[in-house]
A and B are shown apart, each in its own frame.
Chain A
């Protein structure tokens, strides 16, 4: 069965410093993986997706993620945090039957 674990429930960084949000997945087949962002009281927006092409995936707003099959990881990074990055981030894995399975979420805080 597919599952996804976000290793940190909350991450706090200072503006201008790097961001690392960690995600490990479990899948019995080659998965598709996504990162979504949710700003307060808003819906969910796609940041980036991995679908078995390049292992380093670039997304919107300067975010990127690297698919590492040997480590079953899909960590999200950004070189320099901005105040507007403060939000909740979700790692998502697809199930072979069409389900989208969400991680528990990581809340990112950005300090001035």
Chain B
């Protein structure tokens, strides 16, 4: 019973490089989210999805793109990484997005140098 799995757990990028973070959930949840966590700022929503094939912008979407081609997967892409994107990234999923609990992955620590 894996829940929400994020890949990779750690990554170091050089400025300008690209990468994709993968989030996979095995709970048949409709809603999926990508957050970044920075000290003193809580978790800020980057993008989210309310179902397969849909995506929407969150609070801090600039510099990121997402795709939800399959219900169980939600990909977060950085096309040209910047030092300001150094952060811990969390993926989450929930059944309905309002009254139900969200389940979180263990996080990806990304450093851009």
Binary interface encoding of chain A residues 22-54 relative to chain B, with 1 for a CB under 8 A from any of its CBs, else 0: 000000000010101000001110100101100
Contact across chains for A90 and B98 when beta carbons are under 8 A apart: no
Binary interface encoding of chain A residues 67-111 relative to chain B, with 1 for a CB under 8 A from any of its CBs, else 0: 000000000000000000000001010101111111111000000
Report chain B residues within 8 Å CB of A92. 102
> Do A32 and B90 form a contact, CB below 8 Å, given A42-B106, A99-B48, A102-B42?
no
Q: For the complex, is A9 an interface residue (Cβ under 8 Å from B)? A: yes
What is the number of residues of chain B that contact chain A, defined by CB distance less than 8 Å? 26
Contact across chains for B97 and A102 when beta carbons are under 8 A apart: no
> Do A32 and B104 form a contact, CB below 8 Å, given A43-B90, A103-B42?
no
Question: How near does chain B come to A38, taking the closest CB pair, in angstroms?
Answer: 9
Contact across chains for B101 and A105 when beta carbons are under 8 A apart: no
Contact across chains for B98 and A32 when beta carbons are under 8 A apart: yes
Contact across chains for B58 and A99 when beta carbons are under 8 A apart: yes
Question: How near does chain A come to B40, taking the closest CB pair, in angstroms?
Answer: 7
Q: For the complex, is B50 an interface residue (Cβ under 8 Å from A)? A: yes
Roughly how many angstroms separate A77 CA and B57 CA in the complex, as a whole number?
34
Q: For the complex, is B92 an interface residue (Cβ under 8 Å from A)? A: yes
Query: Closest 9 interchain pairs by CB?
Result: A98-B97, A51-B99, A102-B43, A104-B42, A44-B104, A102-B42, A43-B106, A43-B104, A32-B99
Sample of 13 further A-B pairs with CB below 8 A, known A51-B99, A100-B102: A9-B40, A32-B99, A36-B104, A44-B43, A44-B90, A44-B92, A52-B99, A90-B43, A97-B56, A98-B31, A98-B97, A102-B43, A102-B45
Chain B interfacial positions (CB closer than 8 Å to A): 31, 33, 35, 40-45, 48, 50, 56, 58, 90, 92, 94, 96-99, 101-102, 104-107
